[in-house]
Amino acid sequence: MPLLQNLLTTFLDTLTGHLALAIYLLAVTDERVMARRLKKLPLLLLSPFLATLLSAALGAVPKLMMFHYFIISFAVLFMCSLWVRHTWGFGFWRAFAATCMAAVFQVAAATVSWMAYWAISPDNASRFAVAAGLHLGCSIMGSLLLYKLRFGAWFRLLLDSQTPVWRTALLLFGLEAAMEVFLQLLNGVQAQFLAFYYLLVAVMAVLMAAVVIYRARQLDAARIIQAQQDTIARQQLYEQDLEDLRREMRAFCHDYKNLLAGLSQQAVTGDLEDLHHTLSQLDNGFDLGLGAKLQSLTPMGNLQIPQVRSLLLSKLTVMEKKAVECRLEALYPVDNVAMDIWDYVRCLGILTDNAVEAALDTQRPWVEILFLSHDGQVSFRVSNPYKTVIEPGNMWNHGWSTKGPGRGLGLASYQRILERYPNASSCTSWDKGVFIQELTVEDRR
């Protein structure tokens, strides 16, 4: 009977730990739609169950006593990573990194509840309940604090960065292991030093969070500098274009005078037919030369968000290189989008890349891009011809592409970005060989 009770206690203990971990995971991954993740929570319950069994099995090997706790912790970490991988659709290292991060906070909260376990009332059952309640309470408070500090957003940034995720994951695993050691040390701390001990744990947890945020900020700054450099480079190209245009204008001005002289000559001789002919030639000549150039510059001037203009300039350059005919329209100045500008640029990048790639399969590739901005609402529309077969049932799935497996992560991540913006709506249509993607962002504030 005591064995059974022991097992039950271990189970409830690990279960509480798992729930706390799940709470922190939500905060760490900056989850907005919690219900969707919590739906898969029952699957996580498998982990405390297995951990309890493992614990019982390890109990039979007394030599391992020292490492008992660590083996189980590692097993739990591994199982939770698998759960995160399944629930969030992350890769393994990403899931592992997120789990380690959440575990650091969970373990820190656990030390507090352990203290409660030893300090409060002698009655075994209520003692346990209080400790578990305290643990979950601390976790919820901590999680809310992390949300408030936007820790998750920074952490996601770190996971999305260029550095290999496995390195971040291993670093976090190291931190997590250190935290676990701390928890074990609790057994050896004398009563009068407990307050210092908790202070130390709290400082450690805060420091670890600070390290992550610092690292993420550093990456963010580097990214912004890189983007600014790109922007400057492209702006220089743009200015070069403007300079060419100015030169052409001067040449045109010169020709124009000659043409006018010729025209007045024709008018004097009264040759209306000829006059007409010359005039329409002049009109067409303007449309083909300067007119076309001016037309391509007007919309670019209307894209007043540097990141967006920079992206479009680079995509237009790529299209020109690949001989894709491109039309760009921006009727009104686009100066504000009610969404994180980097996310917006990522969306535009994905949609434009897809359009160019699909258009290249066709005989006469073209891409058409329209921006329309008014009353705080910005709509973006890109269309292109396509040749491949559209599979509406599969198109949105992770990794689907007409080019075979391992490609086509674009649309899936596009979807994932938009999930965080209830003020954005997308529309996709395909008809008569033309594929159209639209993204409308409203300003609802």
Partner 1 sequence: MIGIYLCDDDDKVRHQIQTALEWKIVAEDYDMKIACSAASAQELLDGVKNGKQGIYFLDVDLKDPQWDGFLLGRELRRRDPHGILVYITSYKDLAWRTFQYHLEAFDYLVKGPEPMGPAAVQCLEEIHARLLDKCQAPEGTFTLRTGDMERHVPLCDILYFETASTPHHILLHTFGSRMDFLGSLNELEDQLGDAFIRVHRSYLVSADKITAVDLKHNKLLIGEHECLLSRVGKAKLRRKMAGSP
Binding site for partner 1 (CB under 8 A): 33, 36, 276, 279-280, 283, 287, 291-292, 294-295, 298-299, 327, 329-332, 368, 370, 372, 375, 377, 379, 381, 391-393, 415, 418-419, 421-422, 425-431, 440, 442
Please identify, using beta-carbon distances, which residue of 195 and 427 lies nearer to partner 1: 427
Compute the least distance from the CB of residue 260 to partner 1, in Å. Answer: 15
Q: Nearest approach, Cβ of 286 to partner 1 (angstroms)?
A: 9
- Residue 69, burial from CB neighbour count under 10 angstroms (0-12, 13-18, 19+): middle
User: Min. distance of Cβ 88 from partner 1 in angstroms?
Assistant: 13
What phi, psi does 207 have (nearest 5°)? -60, -45
When the beta carbons of 196 and 396 are compared against partner 1, the nearer one is 396
Min CB(212)–partner 1 separation in Å:
27
What are 319-327's contacts with CB under 8 Å, separation 24+? 319/356, 319/367, 322/356, 322/360, 322/365, 323/365, 324/356, 324/359, 324/360, 324/365, 324/366, 324/367, 325/364, 325/365, 325/366, 325/367, 326/366, 326/367, 326/368, 326/369, 327/366, 327/367, 327/368, 327/369
The nearer residue to partner 1, 5 or 425, going by C-beta atoms, is: 425
For partner 1, the closer of residues 393 and 405 by Cβ is 393
Determine contact, residues 330/355, Cβ cutoff 8 Å. no
Indicate the residue among 166 and 286 with the shorter CB distance to partner 1: 286
Give the nearer residue to partner 1 in terms of CB position, either 235 or 426.
426
Amino acid at 56: A
Q: How far apart are CA 403 and CA 244, in angstroms?
A: 40
Nearer residue to partner 1 within complex by CB, 34 or 206: 34
Least distance (Å) between residue 240 CB and partner 1: 21
Tell me the β-bridge partners of 438: 381, 427
> At closest approach, how far in Å is the CB of 339 from partner 1?
13
- Using the minimum distance from each CB to partner 1, give the nearer residue, 318 or 338: 338
Q: Is-contact 43 83, C-beta < 8 A?
A: yes
Q: Give the CA angle between residues 196, 200, 201 to the nearest 5°.
A: 120
CB of 40 to partner 1, least distance (A): 14
* 342: exposed, middle or buried (Cβ count in 10 Å: 0-12, 13-18, 19+): middle
At closest approach, how far in Å is the CB of 38 from partner 1?
14
Q: What share of the chain is helix, strand, coil (3-state, %, to 5)?
A: 70, 10, 20
| Closest residue by Cα to residue 412 from 401, 393, 398 | 398
